[in-house]
């Protein structure tokens, strides 16, 4: 199987605290602690591995927390290409209880110098030789020029490798401007980045800028997509409850896996919806219930080609 490259620009130590109930301004007894190597790209790589792919995680890592992430990625059976940085890899915390949506605290990430980004881009260029796809997923560390995103897209295009980006803000616009093959924002990210009033208008703006396939996740409203061949949608899997943290990353993995398998856009959206739901069933971000994924794909409703995408903006 050809190599699949997954870049996590801003990896983290993901820590999940389970508490009985959350209350602002109160002390809490933590009932359970889970720590995992995190950052959206690592979660995507874990989803791809669960579906039988063999991704290489490209990670800028620094300090003791960075060393922990590198070791933990290896413990998960994932291959890593580590670019050393001087800054300390961030920690992100999710607090969960039985009654409320998780409360998440995401650190901004370390300063990464231009020379360190040059080194990471050189690592990516080396790995792209013979690769099947480049996936870039997650935020940029604070102070990073979004030109890094454009350079990653350009490197993939120069190597003849398709590139899929799950990024937000100025990075999303930079990806579209650089001609990314696939971009996958959620609805809130799409509207915030483009300034559009509706999902349809936001999608049109990214397509106008140069993005090939634009896929928008909308949580319980499902997914919509637009490409030169037409417009598509897929419903979310109904009746799913649990921890939605990481569901969007799992959806990205499902989308990438389906496209790698040469499946049409309609199937790719169904895979994305099924993987997102399968992640909600697991208590910690980065995990998916693969049996549930297969069940959802097999039993899910047929995809449809809408006259016009809806504008609901909830998203995983």
Tens digit of each residue's pLDDT (9 = 90 or more) over 117-162: 999 999 999 999 999 999 999 999 989 999 999 999 999 999 999 9
* Structure confidence at residue 277 (pLDDT): 94
Residue 307 has pLDDT above 70, yes or no: no
Instruction: Please write the tens of the pLDDT for every residue from 174-222.
Output: 999 999 999 999 999 999 999 999 999 999 999 999 999 999 999 889 9
Confidence check: pLDDT of 309 > 70: no
- Read off the tokens for 288: 């998916």
Number of C-beta neighbours around residue 202 at 10 A: 26
> What pLDDT does residue 282 have?
87
- At 1 the pLDDT is 54
Show the 3-state SS of the chain. Answer: CCEEEEECCCCEEEEEEEECCCCCCCCCCEEEEEEEEECHHHHHHHHHHHCCCCEEEEEEECHHHHHHHHHHHHHCCCEEEEEECCCCCEEEEEEECCCCCCEEEECCCCCCCHHHHHHHHHHHHHHCCCEEEEEEECCCCCCCCCHHHHHHHHHHHHCCCCEEEECCHHHHHHHHHCCCCEECCEHHHHHHHHCCCCHHHHHHHHHHHCCCEEEEECHHHCEEEEECCEEEEECCCCCCCCCCCCHHHHHHHHHHHHHHCCCCHHHHHHHHHHHHHHHHCCCCCCCCCHHHHHHHHHHCCCCECCCCCCCCCCCC
* Residue 278 · residue 268 · CB < 8 Å: no
24 has a pLDDT exceeding 50: yes
Residue 314: predicted pLDDT: 30
**Is pLDDT above 80 for 247?**
yes
pLDDT over 70 for what percent of the chain?
93
Q: Which of 310, 102, 101 is nearest to 221 (CA)?
A: 310
Q: What is the pLDDT of residue 104?
A: 87
Query: How sure is the predictor about 251, in pLDDT bands with cuts at 50, 70 and 90?
Result: very high
Residue 2 has pLDDT above 80, yes or no: no
- CA nearest neighbour of 78 among 54, 61, 111, 52: 54
Residue 310 pLDDT greater than 50, yes or no: no
| pLDDT of residue 260 exceeding 90 | yes
Separation between Cα atoms, residue 97 and residue 105, nearest integer Å = 15
Query: Pick from 235, 256, 240, 228: which is nearest to 304 by CA?
Result: 235
Lowest mean pLDDT among 25-34, 178-187, 279-288: 279-288
Q: Read off the pLDDT band of 311 (50, 70, 90).
A: very low
* The pLDDT value given to residue 302: 45
Is pLDDT of 312 > 50? no
Residue 313: what pLDDT?
29
Q: Give the residue numbers marked as catalytic.
A: 249
Q: What is the CATH number of domain 3-20+31-299?
A: 3.40.1190.20
Using a pLDDT cut of 90, give the percent of the chain over it: 80
pLDDT tens digits, residue range 70-108?
999 999 999 999 999 999 999 999 898 877 777 889 999
- Residue 97's pLDDT is 87
Average model confidence (pLDDT) for the chain? 91
Tell me the average pLDDT across 18-29: 92
């Amino acid at each position: 199987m050809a190599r699949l490259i997954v870049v996590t620009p801003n990896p983290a130590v993901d820590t999940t605290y389970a508490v009985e109930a959350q209350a602002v301004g109160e002390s809490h007894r933590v009932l359970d602690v889970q720590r995992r190597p995190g950052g959206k790209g690592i979660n995507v790589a874990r989803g791809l591995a669960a579906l039988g792919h063999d991704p290489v995680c490209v990670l800028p890592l620094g300090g003791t927390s960075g060393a922990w992430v590198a070791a933990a990625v290896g413990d998960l059976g994932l291959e890593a290409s580590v670019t050393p940085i001087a800054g300390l890899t961030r920690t992100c915390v999710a607090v969960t209880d039985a009654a409320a949506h998780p409360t998440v605290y995401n650190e901004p990430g370390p300063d990464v110098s231009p020379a360190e980004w040059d080194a990471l881009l050189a690592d990516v260029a080396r790995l792209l030789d013979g690769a099947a796809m480049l996936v870039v997923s997650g935020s940029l560390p604070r102070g990073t020029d979004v030109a890094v995103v454009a350079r990653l897209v350009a490197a993939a295009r120069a190597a003849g490798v398709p590139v899929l980006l799950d990024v937000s803000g100025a990075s999303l616009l930079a990806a579209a401007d650089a001609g990314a093959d696939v971009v996958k924002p959620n609805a809130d990210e799409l509207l915030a980045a483009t300034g559009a009033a509706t999902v349809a208008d936001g999608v049109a703006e990214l397509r106008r800028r140069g993005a090939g396939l634009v896929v928008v996740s909308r949580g319980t409203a499902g997914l919509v997509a637009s490409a030169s061949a037409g417009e598509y949608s897929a419903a979310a899997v109904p009746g799913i409850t649990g921890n939605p943290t990481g569901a969007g990353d799992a959806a990205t993995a499902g989308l990438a896996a389906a496209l790698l398998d040469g499946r049409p856009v309609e199937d790719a959206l169904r895979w994305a919806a099924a993987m997102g739901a399968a992640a909600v069933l697991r208590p910690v971000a980065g995990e998916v219930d693969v049996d549930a994924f297969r069940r959802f794909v097999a039993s899910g409703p047929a995809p449809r080609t809408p006259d016009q995408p809806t504008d609901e903006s909830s998203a995983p």
